[in-house]
Amino acid sequence: MSLTGLFLIVFLVVHCSINSLMFLNDGGLFFNEAAHFMASNILIRTIEILLFLFLIIHILQSVAITRQNMKARTISYSGTSATATSKWYSRSMGILGSLILVFLIIHLKDFFIPSRFTARLGLDNNGTPDMYSEVKGAFQNPAYAMIYIFSMIVLAYHLLHGFQSAFRSLGVYHKKYTPVIEFIGIAFSIIVPAVFAAMPVYFLLKK
Amino acid sequence: MRLTLKVWRQKNKSDKGGFESYQLNNVDTHASFLEMMDVLNEQLIHENGTPVAFDHDCREGICGSCSMVINGRPHGPLKGTTTCQLHMRHFNDGETITIEPFRANSFPVLKDLVVDRSSFERIQQAGGYISVVTGSAPEANNIAVNKVDSEKAFDAAACIGCGACVATCKNGSAMLFVGAKISQYALLPQGHPERNERVLNMVAVMDEEGFGGCTNTGACEAECPKEISVANIMRLNREYISAKLSVQKE
């Protein structure tokens, strides 16, 4: 779980950085070029296969762990006060993860497939497949934008527990460095989903 | 003080069990929780009822016998306290208190509030020891132990094996217990010769016994009456990964 999770975290950095190019005020030309590079470079495409593989392993591991953990207690307490001893999102990783999976299916269908099968896309002024207009069109639909913003809040909570939990599962615990990892984890969990969520907001405001 | 107790009653292992309510009208605020249970049992005996079965032994917070989940919290609401050291002044007059047994499939209920925690003993038997030739005590200064590690090992050894970590964990995981037992040996030179086999065997038995896996919610540390740190779980993970990578089958 932890190794696949950390790989997915690294992927988020790459994805977030490239998508931030949409904020440049150039009508999406640079973003289209970057998106086209990511879609056509052989090395990136190879890593992409690994990414899907790790995503599937991450999901399968979570199903296995959840099943094992549910078997450990089949009679539950009549009254629990779990809120006193742990954070709600640390106890809800399965639900948060499932919501992210639903989001991913929508996301891949609407953006990944058009970006990889670019024949569906128009061309921009430089003659590059126009992913920018595709994104812009989708995000200018308020309902669609809301799904994205909600999903990024879900992702933020998933990361808030997942980031530091991954290090703990790998046995990393140090009086000096663990608080640093936890701080980076909190910052990452806020900044990355916030940048992603800013994209639909940006296009809605631009409308 | 007046109390209403909602107590889990279960005749035996196979009985389905259920809650029964009891009224106590004159509970001393200075009584410990177990003394309050004794008062309830006296009352039940006078009324020709069956007393509530519950585990207890030392009643001074060091044996790990007492258990019970009080208002949803193992050993009750007070931090770093066993049920026997919890006093009635921490409850309100007229309060309804729900008392249940520890719930985990690896801790089957035997009767009322008594659960079978022998799964912990089987984990211990798998590696929670060092193999030494017994005889007269060796010279204490022959093996040097640094102060920091000896303190950490002592903190881990403070685990009384009560099972509150399993009871509170949403996954019914025993990793705080196993982590503490692993740590108390891994931190000391005497534990090093058998460290790899120890962690592999203890984790294998832990899984066989049906305990869940740790998802790092931290509830165990918050609920542990001996305040054992989750750092011990990370040490267990470290020991386990290291043993997995270094032990080769002959």
Query: Is residue A188's pLDDT more than 90?
Result: yes
Determine the residue among B149, B168, B170, B203 to mutate to test chain A binding: the one whose Cβ has the most chain A Cβ atoms within 10 Å.
B170
In a domain, A78, yes or no: no
| H or E element in which residue B63 lies | none
Q: Which CATH code is given to the segment(s) B117-246? A: 1.10.1060.10
**pLDDT confidence of residue A119:** 67
Both tokens of B216, joined, read: 């790092």
Mean pLDDT of chain A: 92
**pLDDT confidence of residue A115:** 76
In a domain, A6, yes or no: yes
Q: Which of A80, A86, A168 sits opposite B234 (nearest CB)?
A: A168
Q: CB of B108 within 8 Å of any CB in chain A? A: no
Taking the CA of residue A92 and the nearest CA in chain B, the distance in Å comes to 10
Within 10 Å of residue B177's Cβ, how many Cβ atoms? 32
List the domain boundaries for chain B: 3-111, 117-246
Query: Is residue A78's pLDDT more than 90?
Result: no
pTM of this prediction?
0.93
With CA atoms as reference, the chain B residue closest to A76 would be: B103
Over residues A94-116, the pLDDT tens digits come to: 999 999 999 999 999 988 887 77
How would residue B140 be classed by pLDDT, with cut points 50, 70 and 90? confident
Helix, strand, or coil (residue B223)? helix
State the residue range of the domain holding A93.
2-72+86-206
- Using a CB-CB cut-off of 8 Å, the residues of chain A touching B231 are 173
* ipTM confidence: 0.89
In a domain, A77, yes or no: no
Over residues B64-111, the pLDDT tens digits come to: 999 999 999 999 999 999 999 999 999 999 999 999 999 999 999 999
Give CA A198 to chain center in angstroms: 14
Q: In this structure, which CATH number among 2.60.40.10, 1.10.3720.10, 3.10.20.30, 3.30.230.10 belongs to the domain B3-111?
A: 3.10.20.30
What one-character DSSP code corresponds to residue B182?
H
Give me the torsion for CA of B72, B75, B78, B84, rounded to 10°: 140
Q: CB of A50 within 8 Å of any CB in chain B? A: no
Cβ <8 Å between A168 and B213: no
